[in-house]
Amino acid sequence: MAAPAHPAALGFRLPAEWEPQAAIWVSWPRRRATWPGRFAAIPPAFARLVAAISRFEPVHINAARPLQARARKLCAEAGADLARVTFHDHPTDDAWCRDHGPIFVKHRRSGEVAVTDWRFNAWGGKYHPFDRDDAIPARVARELGLRRFARPMVLEGGSIDTNGRGLLLTTEQCLLNPNRNPSLSRAEIERALREMFGIRRVLWLGEGIVGDDTDGHVDDIARFFRADAIVAAAEPDPRDANHRALRDVWERLRSFRTASGKKFELVPLPMPRGFGFDGRRVPATYANFLVINGAVLVPTFRQPRRDAEACAVLGACFPGREIVPVDCREIIWGLGAIHCLTQQQPA
């Protein structure tokens, strides 16, 4: 049963991604239509992602039992530490665990970890079915024996980013989109975020990047890397389709203030050159990185100069963590990358 009280009132908060983690959760890819015409390359690429994470911490994989034998074989071939990989018989519809998986919160004093369970409607009803994905947070909470806080509001993990100190980044294009919560006002959405995550203030950006079918997820454009610092995608070329939206992102970021009233340290992150498949531009961005224990996994797109530049920028943002490039040239055809595929469980 879902707990009746709000997590924040009970002392829970949403940790920052760079805080200690117990594990990373992923959902094994199975929907061929997500990568039309190119699905064969996806399970091996996904296994390489699992292998990269398993060097640093445990990985939990949601996968219906019939998928598990081949998935385990591919992970082994990719060099994953199978002692750190656990499969769960949790059937899914798609692979984007950041959005359909549990968003974990942690108690400020006791350290208890709990699950927040929001409604998932496949980014505004774009892809059906999605009922098995919507059930994943409850399944994970039951499997781990964790408290579960359910909220009848649509929210995806990729649409938010927190500094762990009461501030949260999101976008108007996504959270205020009528295909998510048409009956909720901005104030009501902010209240839900405060009550579920212990957030004190929401920092609203505008729109996301071209090709993003999630309606502007923030993890494609701007991310906290310290409590008082944000790294954000920048596109200086006025001919590029992302120039206008990212210029607006930067204008808003410059207007934001920390909890103490100071300006944020802002670091520009280059964008890869625009590319696509079958005439459709994909939402390739280096902002879709994943912070794990001791490392940062950075999506790369077979653009050596820009890939290296992005890795260098993120290396400076996260000193002391190994920077691990992960080839996402095939994965991005599904319109997401590393961060979209993963969800961290706090330690």
List, for residues 39-92, the tens digit of each pLDDT value: 999 999 999 999 999 999 999 999 999 999 999 999 999 999 999 999 999 999
Closest alpha carbon to 155 in 190, 127, 207:
190
Closest alpha carbon to 197 in 155, 256, 260:
155
**Average pLDDT value over all residues in the chain:** 97
As a whole number of Å, the CA-based R_g of the chain is 19
How many other β-carbons are positioned within 10 Å of the β-carbon of residue 18? 20
Q: Over 60-74, what HEC string results?
A: EEECCHHHHHHHHHH
Residue range 157-165: average pLDDT?
98
Distances in whole angstroms, Cα of residue 29 to Cα of each of 97, 271, 277, 340: 10, 26, 19, 12
Task: Specify whether 340 is catalytic.
Answer: yes
Residue range 258-267: average pLDDT?
96
Residue range 325-337: average pLDDT?
98
List, for residues 107-152, the tens digit of each pLDDT value: 999 999 999 999 999 999 999 999 999 999 999 999 999 999 999 9
Check whether 4 has a pLDDT greater than 80.
Answer: no
DSSP string, 146-183: --EEEEEEE--GGG-EE-SSSEEEEEHHHHT-TTT-TT
Q: What is the pLDDT of residue 304?
A: 98
How far apart (Å, rounded) are the C-alpha atoms in residues 214 and 184?
Answer: 19
Check whether 167 has a pLDDT greater than 80.
Answer: yes
Q: What is the pLDDT of residue 5?
A: 82
At 234, which amino acid appears? Answer: A
Residue range 170-175: average pLDDT?
98
- Among the listed residues 75, 97, 311, 340, the single catalytic one is 340
Residue range 259-280: average pLDDT?
96
Check whether 3 has a pLDDT greater than 80.
Answer: no
Q: What is the pLDDT of residue 1?
A: 47
pTM listed for this prediction:
0.97
